[in-house]
Homo-oligomer: A and B are copies of this chain.
Amino acid sequence: MSGNSLGRIFTVTTFGESHGRALGCVVDGCPPGMELSEADIQTDLNRRRPGRNRHTTQRDEPDQVKILSGIFENKTTGTPIGLLVENMDQRSKDYGDIKDKFRPGHADYAYQQKYGIRDYRGGGRSSARETTMRVAAGAIAKKYLKERLNIEVRGYLSQLGPIELDAKDLSTVDDNAFFCADPSRIDDLDKFMDELREQGDSIGAKITVIVSNMPSGLGEPVFDKLEADIAHGLMSINAVKGVELGAGFASIVQRGSEHRDEMSAEGFSKNDAGGTLGGISSGQDLLVSLALKPTSSVSVPGKTIDKKGKDTEIVTQGRHDPCVGLRATPIAEAMVALVIMDHYLRNRAQNADVSSETPGI
């Protein structure tokens, strides 16, 4: 209810603050009998981890995950899986201005007004460190989807500020620090980021996630359409300002005769729908994009107020990502995987014994 849980059957409940003792989560509802080790989860945590390259925050967190429960003889047992990552590099005990002033564009002011109290150290619960556990839980979902259903959830950076990027080769995404699927553009990105850092500013980005080998039938047709739950999951990531499916905002100027994807025994003619019809997966690839705002932690001074409501100015010190979009690909993949996993189990609950006279296309 307080919004730290996600999902209905495959559920994830997270806790932890940026500068607290640890981050953790409970993954409940995982089907039993799947092999699972800490290494399976660590792979994705390492992809999200800060300090991988010069364009991200220099906070050094190993993000080493411990499985505390739910596994026996290397297999899931069906009981809740407790995960823990201890915080190692909280650094300075001097939080300077952020104790008494609200950083513009940050959650500080809103937390203060909602709770009357806030853990200002590194942003507390509103820190991007919170996403660690999304990625950890998502790794479990991704493993199940891949092993049991051959579903693959893959994301890439599709735009960095003004630089638009194609999905030239998804297999190269993990070879660079940007999760860029076009190796020919890496130098442009490096150069852009270096200039940005010199200016002490930050930039927005766009991430695209593609899910291949989707089964049809996932998604509940009214309020919990598959795309509605995916939009919820993605929009819940820090800094995300927009989500679109298939043709997305471009469909505003389309005509119906152009937008609709025709069908034949060989499949769909194209994929403007983005993988769902009526909120239910059609068997096409799922195509979803998200817009990330530039982080507000920039070294340019900004006007704000202090805890008493008085006008003041602040410069955000410390270690920050100049483009939160750079580390967001594994997070976006995780959220999409968690939603699909949950919907797979939801659909199975109601429709496990359905058979359709129509062959899948």
Contact = CB atoms under 8 A, between A and B. Distances in A.
A349 B346 contact: yes
Contact of A248 (B23, B30, B242): B242
Nearest to A268: B104
B277 A107 contact: yes
A141 to B, nearest CB: 14
A228 B235 contact: yes
Contacts of A272: 293
Interface residues of A, number: 164
A206 B254 CA distance: 12
A358 B309 contact: yes
Contacts of A292: 251-252
Contacts of A9: 1-2, 346, 349-350
A58 interface: no
Contacts of A3: 219-225, 279
State the copy count for this chain.
4
Contact of A242 (B26, B245, B273): B245
Interface in A254-309: 254-265, 269, 272-274, 276-283, 291-298, 300, 302-305, 307-309
A117 B361 CA distance: 17
Nearest to A31: B350
A262 B248 CA distance: 30
A348 interface: yes
Contact of A244 (B201, B228, B241): B241
Interface stretch (A44-52, A74-82, A182-190): A74-82
Interface string A302-341: 1111011111000000000010000000000000000000
Contact of A310 (B75, B265, B295, B354): B265
Nearest to A225: B236
A128 to B, nearest CB: 11
A205 interface: yes
A345 interface: yes
21 contacts: A1-B220, A2-B9, A5-B11, A16-B68, A32-B354, A104-B261, A106-B278, A109-B263, A112-B358, A113-B280, A114-B354, A116-B356, A201-B256, A203-B254, A206-B252, A223-B233, A231-B231, A241-B248, A242-B245, A260-B296, A305-B358
